[in-house]
Amino acid sequence: MRNVVLALGLLLGASVAHSTEHLRIATEGAYPPFNFVDENGTLKGFDVDIAKALCKQLNADCTLQTVEWSKIIEGLESDDYDLIVASMAYTKERAARVEFSAPYYRSHSVLIGDAEKFTDSSPGALVGARIAAAEGTIQADYAKQAYKQSVPVLAKDQPSAQKLLEEKKADLLIGDAIELLSFMETPTGSAYGYVGDPISSEFLQSSAHITARKGNSPLIARVNDALKQIKLDGTYDKINDHYFPFSIY
């Protein structure tokens, strides 16, 4: 009998040791090189690889899905998924609805366009200029507030905003410096350059965060611990180096 009890105990212990939680993760899928769907329909990008690394660190079985940016917080609030890993910047308005992790990368906002025609990014220098931006982003909100004498041209996502610039339906494009660098390294994007200096404003946060439902601070605490671990064990740097020639942490 003692042997039977011991065997059952070992089996239960093994079951607990190998049990994993299931986490549902949302990303946009339209923000290369951070998250995008390739020509084969595969979800890829820096955000995607970071999400997978965190799942491994958390011993969690994860599923990833793409969600339109304008609906991504709403889906989190509706319990459609547990985490958003989609390069989300912190704002007070968002913080009232979701829990933010520690930053997992940093960047700045910039304008790009014909760098010979436009050399100054100040609002006074861009009177009448058409500025494209992805709707629902902090850059779109900033463009409407700071460039009041310019013409905002909004698109549903970043690739669509880039298309407006390519099709000459916009003169300039505002966005994240790293994301736009990736665009400018493509054949179509190589025609454009940075306009002026990176935009300095308290309104434009330079850090990206992972988010969970409001009140789920225990999950965010575990995500923060996992972020520290993938930095310490070199996983983060390997992912960083796969996408960028410099550190974005």
- For 16-25, the pLDDT digits (tens) are 445 579 999 9
Instruction: Give the per-residue pLDDT at 204.
Output: 86
Report residue 4's pLDDT band, with 50, 70 and 90 as the boundaries: very low
Dihedral (C-alpha) 105, 91, 43, 169: value to the nearest 10 degrees? -110
Averaged pLDDT score across all residues of the chain = 92
Choose among 89, 78, 113, 86: nearest CA to 25. Answer: 86
Please report the sign of the dihedral spanned by the C-alpha atoms of residue 69, residue 73, residue 78, residue 82.
Answer: positive
Instruction: Give the per-residue pLDDT at 79.
Output: 98
Between the CA of residue 206 and those of 50, 105, 139, 175, 216, what are the distances in Å? 18, 8, 11, 11, 24
Extended strands (E) in 105-237: 105-106, 109-113, 130-134, 151-155, 172-176, 193-195, 207-213
Chain-centre distance for alpha carbon 110: 16
- The residue-averaged pLDDT of 161-167 equals 97
Residue 14 has pLDDT above 60, yes or no: no
Angle between helices 235-243 and 46-57 (to 10 degrees): 170
Instruction: Give the per-residue pLDDT at 11.
Output: 44
Q: Which residues contact 42 (CB under 8 A, 6 or more apart)?
A: none
Report residue 77's pLDDT band, with 50, 70 and 90 as the boundaries: very high
Map out the domains of the chain with their CATH numbers. Answer: 20-106+206-243 (3.40.190.10), 109-195 (3.40.190.10)
Instruction: Give the per-residue pLDDT at 67.
Output: 98
Please report the sign of the dihedral spanned by the C-alpha atoms of residue 188, residue 195, residue 142, residue 78.
Answer: positive
- The residue-averaged pLDDT of 167-184 equals 96
Instruction: Give the per-residue pLDDT at 6.
Output: 40
CB 194, CB 121: distance < 8 Å: no
Peptide bond preceding 103 in cis form (omega within 30 of 0): no
Instruction: Give the per-residue pLDDT at 206.
Output: 83
Instruction: Give the per-residue pLDDT at 205.
Output: 74
Between the CA of residue 68 and those of 47, 129, 139, 239, 247, what are the distances in Å? 15, 28, 17, 24, 28
Radius of gyration of the chain (CA): 21
| Distance, CA of 51 to CA of 27 (rounded, Å) | 9
Mean pLDDT is lowest, of 55-59, 109-113, 204-208, 237-241, for 204-208
DSSP tag of 90: P
Mean pLDDT is lowest, of 5-9, 151-155, 202-206, for 5-9
Q: Which residues contact 221 (CB under 8 A, 6 or more apart)?
A: none
